């Protein structure tokens, strides 16, 4: 646990110091790079056993890239994966090309894992810089580190896609929907599930229209609940139309109470924001996304892979948690809220990763090839 906590603390300390500096200045940019290098190095130096997907597809893709003479040769190569041959072309072209170019240049798995983390954390950091100038950057990054960093060591393709969408959300907040849609298309180059970004776009359009955001938010919440109860029907429908191989992702779904409990503080936070002058259009979108996050988190009861899809909705907490704190009135109340959020993030990390073992990233192990 110590390597994670030390890295988080070091990175957050730097960000906390520089967050009020001129963001276009050399000092801010330089120290931002240093702060992000810390988690990237942590990701790069890890053992290939940290994060199951490293063994599942990153290591095989890396090996094939090192043995290829061109990108076309690499795409046409294959390896045996449990029950069938797998080709690099089976994966999204953006991620496949990223692996090939980095592996061909560096011939280093640690360098590849470093770059993959950089491709995740940089868009998220830039997204925080774009969303509002007065938000506490350190808190947004604390949410990322404690709630999601460990999962990024496993779900690498999906998290690059999520990071791109998080960066693009500021376009959605500004009403620049076409630009947001372009970034959704870009994100699908790394994981096809990023098409859910269009669902977020549709949700935003629905919630921003009309004069009664509370009513529309309640409707979205009800739709999310109905979606949960409709999952068995969807599973049977897939079987009926010949797509039974996908039914397992929606199969025997039941309620996971702890996944709901973990999100209750976030709901309370958003209600607090709403009651204290938060922009109704944004609050309704955040609550709507939280509702779908809760529902999608229940899919993990049927299949771990299915539960991962909820990260597209859950990850927006990286943006709205610091927005809520920035909106709070200065004084003891604001300090108390900041303390509560820090404790919440730390408790989330301890329960999810240290105790429950999600993402299989604890204990941290250094890549033996590095030598220390």
| pLDDT at residue 301, as a whole number | 65
**Is residue 210 situated within a structural domain?**
yes
| pLDDT at residue 372, as a whole number | 45
Q: Give me the tens of pLDDT residue by residue for the chain, a chain 372 residues long.
A: 899 999 999 999 999 999 989 988 999 999 999 999 999 999 999 999 998 899 999 999 999 999 999 999 999 999 988 788 999 999 999 999 999 999 999 999 999 999 999 999 999 999 999 987 789 999 999 999 999 999 999 999 999 999 999 999 999 999 999 999 999 999 999 999 999 999 999 999 998 887 777 788 888 888 888 877 776 666 666 555 654 544 555 556 667 889 999 999 999 999 999 988 778 888 999 999 999 999 888 877 666 666 788 999 999 999 999 999 998 887 778 899 999 999 999 999 999 999 999 888 999 999 987 744
What values do phi and psi take at 331, rounded to 5? 125, -160
Question: Is 302 exposed, middle or buried, given 0-12, 13-18 or 19+ CB atoms closer than 10 A?
Answer: buried
**Is residue 90 situated within a structural domain?**
no
**Is residue 77 situated within a structural domain?**
no
The rounded distance, in Å, linking the Cα atoms of 44 and 103 is 13
**Is residue 56 situated within a structural domain?**
no
Phi-psi region of 366 (alpha: psi -120 to 50; beta: other; left: phi over 0): beta
| pLDDT at residue 333, as a whole number | 82
Number of domains in the chain: 1
Within 10 angstroms of residue 173's Cβ, the number of other Cβ atoms is 19
Please provide the DSSP assignment of 137-182 as one string: HHHHHHHIIIIIIHHHTT-HHHHHHHHHHHHHHHHHHTT-HHHHHH
**Is residue 204 situated within a structural domain?**
yes
**Is residue 282 situated within a structural domain?**
yes
Largest CA distance in the chain: 62
User: What domain range is 307 assigned to?
Assistant: 1-45+108-355
**Is residue 98 situated within a structural domain?**
no
| pLDDT at residue 279, as a whole number | 80
pTM of structure: 0.93
**Is residue 348 situated within a structural domain?**
yes
The rounded distance, in Å, linking the Cα atoms of 26 and 136 is 20
Which secondary-structure segment (H or E) carries 290?
helix 280-297
């Amino acid at each position: 646990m110590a390597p994670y906590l030390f890295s988080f603390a070091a990175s957050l300390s730097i960000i906390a110091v520089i967050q009020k500096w001129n963001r276009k200045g050399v000092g801010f940019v330089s120290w931002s790079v240093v702060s992000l290098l810390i988690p990237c190095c942590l990701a790069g130096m890890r053992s290939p056993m940290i994060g199951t997907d490293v063994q599942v597809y990153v290591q095989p893709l890396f090996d094939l890239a090192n043995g290829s003479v061109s990108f076309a040769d690499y795409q046409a190569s294959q390896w045996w994966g449990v029950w069938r041959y797998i080709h690099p072309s089976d994966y999204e072209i953006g991620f496949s090309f990223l692996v090939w170019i980095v592996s061909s240049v560096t011939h280093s798995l640690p360098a590849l894992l470093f770059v993959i983390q950089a491709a995740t954390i940089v868009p998220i950091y830039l997204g925080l810089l774009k969303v509002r100038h007065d938000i506490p950057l350190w808190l947004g990054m604390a949410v990322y580190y404690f709630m999601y960093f460990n999962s990024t060591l496993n779900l690498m393709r999906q998290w690059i896609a999520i990071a791109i969408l998080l960066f693009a959300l500021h376009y959605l907040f500004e009403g620049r929907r076409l630009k947001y849609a372009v970034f959704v298309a870009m994100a699908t180059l790394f994981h096809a599930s990023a098409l859910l970004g269009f669902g977020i776009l549709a949700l935003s359009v629905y919630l921003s229209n009309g004069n009664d955001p509370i009513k529309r938010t309640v409707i979205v919440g009800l739709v999310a609940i109905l979606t949960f109860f409709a999952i068995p029907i969807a599973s049977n429908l897939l079987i009926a139309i010949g797509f039974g191989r996908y039914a397992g992702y929606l199969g025997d779904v039941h309620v996971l109470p702890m996944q709901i409990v973990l999100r209750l503080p976030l709901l309370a936070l958003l209600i607090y924001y709403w009651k204290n002058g938060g922009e109704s259009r944004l609050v309704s979108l955040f609550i709507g996304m939280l509702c779908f996050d809760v529902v999608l988190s229940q899919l993990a009861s049927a299949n771990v892979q299915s539960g991962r899809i909820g990260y597209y909705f859950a990850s927006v907490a990286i943006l709205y948690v610091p927005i809520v704190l920035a909106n709070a009135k200065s004084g003891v109340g604001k300090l108390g809220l900041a303390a509560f959020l820090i404790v919440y993030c730390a408790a989330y990390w301890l329960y999810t990763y240290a105790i429950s073992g999600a993402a299989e990233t604890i204990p941290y192990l250094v890549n033996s090839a590095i030598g220390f």
